[in-house]
């Protein structure tokens, strides 16, 4: 609606994340997340380094292409789009738009960056799927092993006036217990 409501919304959005972070328990998060934080930091650092190398390799070409097609005004958008794509690879599409907006990239350059990112994504995801095709999923393999080792089977049957309970904790061991009113016998068989 009004200009005042729009300004209030903008102020609230700018302060929302810092205020949430002020109330965060970082010690508890560090303990709960542990290795994931280090993995994220390693991946973010690698993304930053590879973006810098990528800009060093093709930055001049990108700047030249933008200046030829759209004039000198858009030539500086190449670095802004590269920074946006780097932010997108670290934290997602919202980061791309936030970085491009804060750096003042032109709408045409933002669209070109999204297009280029989608084209490379269309090459990247099928390639990684093809590389992984036919290989077992390590998590599924680990789950099936854990389930097979911890399966417990309990069967109660009446045989000749006795209750027989059969149970196993591993697939290779079968434990049979026969219970009568006079005695208790146990035997382990394969």
Structure confidence by residue, pLDDT tens digits, 29-52: 777 887 788 888 898 899 889 988
- pLDDT greater than 60 at residue 96: yes
Whole-number pLDDT of residue 122 = 93
Helix (H) or strand (E) holding 189: strand 184-189
> Per-residue pLDDT averaged across 144-168, rounded?
54
Strands 184-189 and 174-179 come out as: antiparallel
Whole-number pLDDT of residue 127 = 93
Helix (H) or strand (E) holding 142: helix 138-150
Tokens describing residue 106: 């032109």
Q: How far apart are CA 168 and CA 149, in angstroms?
A: 10
Whole-number pLDDT of residue 11 = 84
According to DSSP H, which parts of 26-134 are helical?
A: 26-33, 35-70, 77-91, 93-103, 107-132
Beta bridge partners of 161: none
Strands 153-159 and 174-179 come out as: unpaired
Prediction pTM value: 0.51
């Amino acid at each position: 609606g009004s200009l005042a409501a729009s300004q209030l919304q903008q102020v609230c959005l700018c302060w929302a994340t810092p205020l949430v972070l002020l109330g965060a328990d970082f010690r508890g998060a560090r303990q709960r997340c542990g290795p994931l934080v280090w993995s994220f930091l390693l991946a973010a650092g690698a993304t930053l380094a590879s973006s810098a190398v990528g800009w060093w390799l093709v930055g001049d070409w990108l700047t030249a292409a933008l200046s030829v097609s759209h004039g000198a005004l858009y030539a500086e958008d190449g670095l802004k789009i590269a920074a946006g794509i780097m932010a997108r690879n670290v934290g997602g599409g919202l980061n791309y738009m936030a970085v491009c907006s804060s750096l003042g990239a032109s709408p045409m350059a933002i669209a070109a960056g999204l297009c280029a990112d989608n084209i490379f994504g269309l090459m990247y995801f099928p390639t990684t799927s093809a590389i992984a095709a036919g290989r077992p999923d390590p998590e599924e393999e680990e789950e099936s092993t854990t389930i097979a080792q911890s399966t417990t089977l309990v069967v109660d049957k009446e045989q000749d006036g006795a209750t027989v309970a059969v149970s196993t904790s591993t697939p290779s061991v079968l434990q049979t217990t026969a219970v009568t009113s006079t005695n208790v016998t146990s035997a382990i068989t394969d």
